[in-house]
Structure formats: C-alpha cells, structure tokens
Amino acid sequence: MSKEEISRTLELLRAELERLDAGNAPVRTRIAALIRDIERQLDASDEFDDGQSIFDRLAGILEDFEADHPRITGIVSKLSTTLSNMGI
C-alpha cells in the first residue's frame, strides 16, 4: 500500500472518529494522536522511524476497541496489516 492509500485509510479513520459521541473522548484522543504520529512520519521520510511503536499502538487500539467500536477496529486493522506488509 502506498503513502496515498495509507492517507486515505487515515481519512476513513478520522471520519469514524467524528461519529463517536462525546462520551468517547479518551478514544478520540488516543486515535487522533496515533493518526498525527503516522502522518508526521509519512511526511518526514520514506521510512518509518518508529514503526514498531506505531504497530504496538495499533495492536493495542484493536484490542481495546474491538467490541465497542467495530468500524474503527476494522479500519485500524487494515492500517495495521498494511504497515506490517510494508515491513514495519
């Protein structure tokens, strides 16, 4: 998956975050920070400097939100698989 495809996937994730109600502020904060970190690294270079950390964070989000936020889980799972396939 290219950087453009990752960016589109992040946009899908942002759209899902907008659908969360106000009671999910911790979820929104955590995922928004992850999105910013991924975008920062995409903009900085062709390589991810902190890939394992991002992968660990994606895996943690999947585990934490699987039951309550299935759409977010699906998008994060896709992103995690993509980064893994890129060798990150």
Phi, psi of 81 (to 5 degrees): -65, -45
- Domain span including residue 47: 3-85
pLDDT of the residue at 52 = 54
pLDDT of the residue at 49 = 52
Q: What is the count of structural domains for the chain?
A: 1
Contacts of residue 37, defined as CB under 8 A and 6 or more positions apart, other chains included, come to 50, 54, 57
Instruction: Indicate the average pLDDT of the chain.
Output: 78
Q: What is the percent of the chain where pLDDT is above 90?
A: 0
- pTM for this predicted structure: 0.61
Q: What is the pLDDT of residues 43-72, one digit of tens each?
A: 775 555 555 577 777 777 777 777 778 888
More confident residue, 1 or 64: 64
